[in-house]
Amino acid sequence: MKADTSQMLQARISSWLSLRDRIRTLVLHGASIFTLALVLSVSGAFDSDAFPFWRRLSFHSLTATLLIVQTSLGFDLIRRILGKKTSVLVSGALTAVMVLTLMTVQLQALKLTPILPYEFDPWLAFALFLAPFVLPVSALVVLAKTAHERFWVVQEYSTDHVDEVLELAFRPVIAGLLPAPSPQTLSDWPQGAIEHIRSVDHYLEVKTASQTVLVRGRMGDALKRLSLSDGIQTHRSWWVAWAEIHSVETRSRDTAFRLNTGALIPIARAREAYVLAEWKARQPIS
């Protein structure tokens, strides 16, 4: 029963974290589209102030949706084609140009519908007309997407301590007489040198040479106890000690540190240049 419960709990936790990220992304996109459409409608952008407000809102909602969704998807496509070594600046610039081209074609096509009953403009002139609006908004979407991936997207969830939690859960507790078991707090920080730390929601998996401890807290709390001379945060959810790093490995688009123990610690793409520069600076001069 306990083994089945452990597997079920692992699957549910991973599924919930993935769903949470999808919902957060949808909410951010929806809020951005609504805000942009409202601002454009109130300001009468694209010479639409002659239309009734509801019509302006419909048109600008469509425009905002095309702009934000195509920028987000286009940025992913550009990075997949060019590879992770390409800087965000280059990928973002190519994405903005691609979206400007698409928006020029799409808005020209809308002139054939009652939504935008205007005459066709010369293609180049119309693209230059759209550029002061499309390019800055695309840049903001790329920056927001990069920041979201760097600080919020949950990576693969570690289930190393699920059995440990279940062990506590399966202990008999006499209701009203014995307190239910509670997780450790950050004050229960383990003794000895820290090898690496992994953050999962409200918990920290702290690894030393002699033990692995599950501590309640966030990565920010752990970083206050550590310094750059001790190690480095390679990822939103990972910290590793310099002394434990054996080498750097790259697989497909992912880069990681190989530890002396053989374990792999992921390096976030957004932090890769900084982390590897710090690592190389600490290597002996040959």
**Do 124 and 18 share a domain, yes or no?**
yes
Domain of 45? Answer: 2-151
Number of domains in the chain: 2
Rounded average pLDDT over 207-225: 83
**Does 156 score more than 60 pLDDT?**
no
Q: What is the DSSP code string of 162-220? A: HHHHHHHHTS---TTTSPPP--EEGGGPPSS-EEEEEEETTEEEEEESS-EEEEES-HH
Rounded average pLDDT over 17-29: 71
Rounded average pLDDT over 225-253: 86
Least confident of 11-15, 85-89, 186-190: 11-15
Higher pLDDT, 151 or 193: 193
**Do 115 and 29 share a domain, yes or no?**
yes
- 161 in any annotated domain: no
What local confidence, expressed as pLDDT, does residue 135 receive?
A: 92
- 33 in any annotated domain: yes
Compute the half-sphere exposure of residue 207: CA atoms within 13 Å on the CB side of its CA. Answer: 16
pLDDT category of residue 170 using cuts at 50, 70 and 90 = very low
- Are the CB atoms for 202 and 154 separated by under 8 Å? no
Closest by CA to 13, choosing from 225, 160, 209, is: 160
- What's the pLDDT tens digit per position in 51-66? 788 888 888 888 889 9
**Do 8 and 138 share a domain, yes or no?**
yes
**Do 224 and 137 share a domain, yes or no?**
no
> Would you tell me the crossing angle of helices 53-82 and 88-110 to the nearest 10 degrees?
140
**Does 155 score more than 50 pLDDT?**
no
pTM comes to 0.49
Of 151, 174, 196, which residue sits at a domain end?
151
**Do 20 and 107 share a domain, yes or no?**
yes
Rounded average pLDDT over 150-160: 48
The CA-based angle 18-20-25, given to 5 degrees, is 100
What local confidence, expressed as pLDDT, does residue 162 receive?
A: 46
Rounded average pLDDT over 88-116: 88
